[in-house]
């Protein structure tokens, strides 16, 4: 329903899959937090437990958190499994992009090191070619024992990543090294092992996606060809880089990425209200939606009848992007998109100046293989002083490239630069939109840069 916030839906883009192995130590209860931390980074998680682990925590806890059956035995088959169903530990080993064991007891480290495979977890360890991360947790004397250290060293040499235990008070009453690392630290090690950056951790990203619809009568509307693919790809990318994502979306047939907060809207005015209502929470706003520029003055209550030629009277909608810029809070970055069909870079630059955003991603929607409803896109990322070419690539990849540039804007160096006369000179050399003088553009340029400079002073 419009304006309502939805919980997670099934995945849209390929999500990285992580198997969490839980072995039997007191820190097993903290594995639930590890699962949650991984899910916050948009990873799909399944869990396997050793028999000893099930004495500390019920498998039901992990089944509820992961939404999947928890593997606890090599011999347990679902009652409805067909005889030719794949063998679980092999199927799971192939399913996982990474295996993380948290907590990893001295026993499990020894079994991994020596290739013993008499339960689901140890068998899966041998059967997987995916990266393995272990987070040991045990009594400090056990941790420091030469046998444990030799096993850890052997695993390290084989490429297993060790998330070193912390020092502190232990469950056994001793004080020393052996306490399992914090769940977020384990999640970070997993992300690093997967080669994923989490450079947007701590950011709240408000993204608009899809097209809006303006009703003419109860059955017809003015709309556009936006599928939501670009915006959903941005949402997935931002989330996988650690951001909390609020996705305000027009009607779309796509499933939004898991774990992002979805606000569904239909009209430009609904989108405006949803965006303004959530703007204060956001550290970054990305407006990739194709918002209607006009709406009918009158919406017919009954279906319009065919009666020869018809003239529609239209009114301009509010410019949400410009309003968001006017209301920006200190430190908030605002990125717009521009859909152009001619002189794309010049038109994009004119929009950047007119709307006062920090950046505009301009794409040529006249090209059939990119833009609306395509799985691919190509664009130019424009700021006051740069024009970065983002060549033809899948939208999901382009989303990451856009975010790379946004992250670069956050760097103090680029933010601290005072708008210099050199920058203005650069702007003069760039094409200016028709009907505007250089003087007007300089004013717009100074005005649009001012909030950012002010924000920096506050920060």
Active site residues: 172
Is residue 176 a contact partner of residue 207, using CB atoms and an 8 Å limit? no
Smallest gap from residue 275 Cβ to ligand PMT (A):
8
Q: Is 290 in the site for ligand PMT (CB under 6 A)?
A: yes
From 122, 267, 317, 448, residue interacting with ligand PMT (rule: CB under 6 A): 317
SS3 of 237-248:
HHHHCCCEEEEE
Smallest gap from residue 386 Cβ to ligand PMT (A):
18
For 100, the enclosing helix (H) or strand (E) is strand 98-104
Look up residue 452 and give its two tokens: 């950012």
Smallest gap from residue 279 Cβ to ligand PMT (A):
12
Q: Is 269 in the site for ligand PMT (CB under 6 A)?
A: no
Q: Is 12 in the site for ligand PMT (CB under 6 A)?
A: no
For 360, the enclosing helix (H) or strand (E) is strand 359-364
In this complex, which beta carbon is closest to ligand PMT, that of residue 122 or of residue 288? 288
Is residue 241 a contact partner of residue 198, using CB atoms and an 8 Å limit? yes
From 184, 199, 269, 319, residue interacting with ligand PMT (rule: CB under 6 A): 319
Rg of the Cα atoms in the chain: 27
Smallest gap from residue 228 Cβ to ligand PMT (A):
5
Stretch that binds ligand PMT, among 117-125, 144-152, 285-293, 435-443 (CB under 6 A): 285-293
Binding mask 194-233 for ligand PMT (x = CB under 6 A): --------------x-x---------------xxxxxx--
Binding mask 152-191 for ligand PMT (x = CB under 6 A): ----------------------------------------
- Which single residue is written with the structure tokens 């804007």? 409
Q: Is 193 in the site for ligand PMT (CB under 6 A)?
A: no
Q: Is 321 in the site for ligand PMT (CB under 6 A)?
A: yes
How many chain residues interact with ligand PMT (CB under 6 A)? 29
CA 387 to CA 303: how far, in whole Å?
Answer: 47
In this complex, which beta carbon is closest to ligand PMT, that of residue 120 or of residue 372? 372
Interactions with ligand PMT, residue window 368-407 (CB under 6 A)? 371-373
Q: Is 320 in the site for ligand PMT (CB under 6 A)?
A: yes
Edge-to-edge, what's the strand order for the sheet holding 261-264? 5-6, 261-264, 244-249, 204-209, 284-287, 333-340, 359-364, 376-382, 387-394
Q: Is 288 in the site for ligand PMT (CB under 6 A)?
A: yes
CA 200 to CA 284: how far, in whole Å?
Answer: 10
Smallest gap from residue 381 Cβ to ligand PMT (A):
12
Is residue 209 a contact partner of residue 230, using CB atoms and an 8 Å limit? yes
SS3 content of the chain, % helix, strand, coil (to 5): 40, 20, 40
CA pseudo-torsion sign 350, 204, 456, 404: negative
Binding mask 331-370 for ligand PMT (x = CB under 6 A): -----xxxx-----------x-----------x-x-----
In this complex, which beta carbon is closest to ligand PMT, that of residue 126 or of residue 314? 314
Look up residue 76 and give its two tokens: 């347990």
CA 80 to CA 59: how far, in whole Å?
Answer: 20
CA pseudo-torsion sign 336, 342, 345, 349: negative
Q: Given the rule CB under 6 A, which residues bind ligand PMT?
A: 208, 210, 226-231, 268, 287-291, 293, 317, 319-321, 336-339, 351, 363, 365, 371-373
């Amino acid at each position: 329903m419009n304006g309502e916030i939805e919980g997670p839906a099934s995945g849209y883009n390929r999500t990285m899959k992580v198997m969490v192995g839980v072995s039997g130590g007191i820190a097993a209860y903290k594995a639930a937090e590890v699962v949650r931390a991984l899910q916050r980074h948009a990873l799909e998680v399944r869990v396997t437990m050793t028999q000893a682990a099930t004495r500390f925590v019920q498998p039901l806890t992990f089944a509820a958190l992961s939404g999947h059956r928890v593997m606890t035995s090599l011999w347990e088959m679902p009652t409805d499994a067909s005889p030719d169903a794949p063998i679980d530990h092999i199927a799971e080993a192939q399913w996982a992009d990474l295996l993380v064991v948290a907590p990893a007891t001295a026993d499990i480290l020894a079994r991994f090191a020596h290739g013993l495979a008499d339960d689901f977890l140890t068998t899966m360890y041998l059967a997987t070619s995916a990266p393995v991360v272990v987070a040991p947790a045990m009594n400090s004397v056990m941790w420091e024992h030469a046998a444990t250290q030799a096993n850890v060293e052997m695993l390290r040499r084989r490429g297993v990543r060790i998330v070193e235990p912390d020092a502190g008070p232990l469950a056994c009453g001793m004080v020393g090294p052996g306490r399992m690392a914090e769940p977020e630290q384990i999640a970070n090690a997993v992300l690093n092992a997967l080669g994923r950056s989490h450079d947007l951790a701590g950011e709240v990203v408000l993204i608009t996606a899809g097209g809006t619809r303006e009703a003419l009568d109860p059955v017809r509307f003015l709309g556009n060809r936006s599928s939501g693919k670009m915006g959903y790809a941005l949402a997935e990318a931002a989330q996988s880089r650690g951001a909390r994502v609020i996705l305000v979306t027009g009607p779309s047939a796509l499933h939004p990425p898991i774990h992002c907060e979805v606000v569904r809207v239909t009209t430009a005015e609904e989108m405006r209200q949803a965006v303004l209502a959530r703007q204060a929470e956001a550290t970054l706003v990305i407006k990739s939606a194709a918002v209607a520029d006009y709406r009918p003055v009158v919406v017919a209550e009954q279906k319009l009848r065919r009666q020869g030629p018809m003239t529609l009277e239209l009114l301009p909608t509010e410019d949400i992007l410009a309003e968001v810029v006017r209301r920006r809070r200190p430190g908030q970055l605002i990125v717009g998109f521009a859909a152009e069909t001619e002189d794309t870079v010049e038109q994009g630059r004119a929009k950047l100046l007119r709307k006062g955003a920090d950046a505009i991603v301009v794409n040529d929607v006249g090209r059939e293989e990119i833009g609306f409803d395509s799985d691919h896109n190509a664009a130019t990322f424009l700021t006051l002083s740069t024009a970065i070419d983002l060549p033809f690539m899948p939208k999901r990849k382009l989303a990451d490239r856009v975010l790379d540039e946004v992250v670069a804007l956050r760097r103090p160096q680029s933010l601290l630069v005072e708008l210099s006369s050199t920058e203005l000179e650069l702007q003069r050399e760039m094409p200016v939109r028709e009907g505007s003088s250089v003087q007007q553009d300089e004013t717009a340029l100074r005005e649009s840069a001012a909030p950012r400079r002010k924000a920096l002073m506050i920060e």
